[in-house]
Amino acid sequence: MNSFDPSISNWEDYLRVYEFSIKHEDAFWDAVARRQLKWKKAWTKVSDNDYLTGRVNWYPGAELNVSENCLDRHIEAGNGDRKALIWVGNEVGEERIFTFTELHREVCRVALALEALQVKKGDRVVLYLPNIPELAMSVLACARIGAVHCVIFGGFSAQSIYSRVKDCQASVIITANGTYRGDKWIDLKAKVDEALAMGCPSVKHVVTVMRHSESKSTVAGNSPSKEDVTRNVFWDAWLASIKSEQHQAQSHSALDPMFILYTSGSTGQPKGVLHTMGGYLTYASYTHEIVFQPQKDDVFWCTADVGWITGHTYLLYGPLANGCTTLMFEGIPTYPDPGRFWQIVEKYQVAIFYSAPTAIRILASAGDQFVTQHSRKSIRTLGTVGEPINPEAWKWYNKVVGEERAPIVDTWWQTETGGILISPLAGITPLKPGSATLPLPGIQPAILNDAGIVISGAGSGALVIKKSWPGQMNGVYGDTKEFPSKFYDTYFAKFKGYYFSGDGAERDEEGFYWITGRMDDVIKVSGHRLGTAEIESACVTHPGVVESAAIGIPDPVTGEALHIFIVLKDKVAPSAELMKTITETVRKEVGP
């Protein structure tokens, strides 16, 4: 019996666990899976991976139920009355709160209702919903019955819905009549109807949540066809026919597909990133615990939309698997004013706040008074994800929001990685503004130079990972099982034997990692290699600049020329003089 304890609560733990994880990979991931989750059947092998052919399989032979791990087991442990989900709507004062018992009841009803629509294990269910509790219920219900959920972010167009539904051949779509984001009403159902009109014969049922009763949208669009009338149903009517509140969670294989998330790469068409039940949930649970160090009764708030991987892993699955209270917000950071985040933090006593650099920069530009008018005493930890955070924004977040007492975890990961790979552990890892710091246990990053050779010590290059981890995607949906697959071609072909992240990174003398941005965004000006992230970080040190984006434009003299889009602070007017000072800032920060 494996008795290694992978938990981490101080720096010595981190060093010890990291070392063990590299020396005894299988024993380490075996211990993590046992500790984090409840399994119905143990694995026959910890993993079966081969980067040379693009094979990633975790915990083969094992069985579990994801939804049971997120709900039932906490109730069985006597925590049914603990808050599972705090939902905050777009309008101030709009809230719905669910205990684990209450959320479990709703998930069971939705699972039964999906089964009543003949949804079976392996079937795909598309969710085109805003951040509302019905979305949490739907994904957990899918996972419970083994249906594969595919959440499409509400900002995507009808054309994008169409191509995704066509690719994954979904039989059911769950949507809402719309959502408010700030003062803007977005009619989601109209976009679904438009997508269906392009032809999605796989779709047998469309379920619509009435988010606002005053919306004009009808259940079947404006001119419903016969088919539309029969395949459309309202959420409330759908659930009204379900009389039971109990649904027995079945065992699913650890390798059964759990969800698909479409993400853009270098090709024109988004890829369906596929994650599997056992590995994904193990990794979501473990990383949520070690990175954020949640304590009993903490309110954890990840501001992401569930339409992205961050929302999957750290708004829903990670915290719920760990029995934590998670907060879900439907609105935007600037509505009704730029103090909204901190008003919510104060009201719900949020302990851990996890957001994105863009949001932080927007709020920083709005003025400190929007932050300081609300108490942030409850905050113990701050987090950031999604793009490199420039030291300027990091320092503002640290000083103004966190009052210099809340560590910032700058978490580096991707849709493909399922969970965080490189990040400080809150309150444990020493911090450097702008650095994602060190790899989590079990993660072996390497930096390759232009020739594809691993470099040691300080230096920069392509960021690759040497060995698989349980959160790693298992494949591209609809891919061939033959070698070479799309999965292999995209992630393993460029550097043989490694997973290539697509990112560039720099490692300093102390082994700390600094993500420099996508390698596909690297530009070369007169032979000088520039990271767009580096340029953008320089621009925002200029006092008039909120946000910037740098791109390369082909140039006959210099190869590529640098072009920068700039978003100015409110009340700062564009002028030639301003452009000159911004250019000077870039010359100063990056080089002439």
Task: Give the residues lining the site for ligand WT7 (CB under 6 A).
Answer: 263, 309-310, 385-388, 410-415, 436, 501-503, 515, 517-518
Residue 31 to residue 442: CA distance in whole angstroms: 12
Write down how long the chain is.
592
Nearer to ligand WT7, 178 or 279 (CB): 279
Alpha-carbon distance 346 to 366, whole Å? 19
Q: Which residues contact 109 (CB under 8 A, 6 or more apart)?
A: 239, 242, 244, 245, 247
Q: Is 377 helix (H, G, I), strand (E, B) or coil?
A: coil
Nearest approach, Cβ of 389 to ligand WT7 (angstroms)? 7
- Tell me the three state secondary structure of residue 296: coil
Q: What CA–CA distance (Å, rounded) separates 45 from 67?
A: 23
**Least distance (Å) between residue 415 CB and ligand WT7:** 3
In angstroms, what is the minimal distance from the CB of 417 to ligand WT7?
7
Q: How far is the CB of 477 from ligand WT7 (least distance, A)?
A: 16
Q: What are phi and psi of 50, to 5 degrees?
A: -150, 105
C-alpha 235/C-alpha 200 separation (Å) is 21
Cα Rg of the chain (Å, integer): 24
> Is residue 224 reached through a cis peptide bond, with omega within 30 degrees of 0 on the bond before it?
no
How far is residue 266 CA from its own chain's centroid?
A: 20
Question: Given the complex with ligand WT7, which of 293 and 411 has the nearer CB atom?
Answer: 411
Asked if residues 277 and 254 have their Cβ atoms less than 8 Å apart, the reply is yes
515 vs 535 by CB, closer to ligand WT7:
515
Q: Output the smallest distance, CB 140 to ligand WT7, in A.
A: 21
Tell the smallest beta-carbon distance from residue 163 to ligand WT7 (Å).
18
Tokens for 58, please give them. 């975790």
Cβ proximity of 516 and 505 under 8 Å: yes
Closest approach of Cβ 216 to ligand WT7, in Å? 34
Alpha carbon of residue 313 to chain centroid? 6
What three-state secondary structure class fits 342? helix
Closer CB to ligand WT7, residue 386 or residue 461?
Answer: 386
> Which of 153, 335 has the CB closer to ligand WT7?
153
Residue type for position 498: Y
Nearest by Cα to 43 from 250, 278, 275, 276: 278
Q: Nearest approach, Cβ of 43 to ligand WT7 (angstroms)?
A: 27
Least CB distance to ligand WT7 at residue 387 (A): 5
Question: How many Cα atoms sit within 13 Å of 13 on the Cβ side?
Answer: 13
Question: Whose Cβ is closer to ligand WT7: residue 196's or residue 291's?
Answer: 291
- d(CA 399, CA 411) in angstroms, rounded, equals 19
| Distance of closest approach, residue 309 Cβ to ligand WT7, in angstroms | 5
Answer for the pair 266, 520: CB distance below 8 angstroms, yes or no. Answer: yes
In a 3-state reduction of DSSP, which class is residue 156?
coil
Q: At what angle do helices 188-197 and 158-168 cross, to 10 degrees?
A: 60
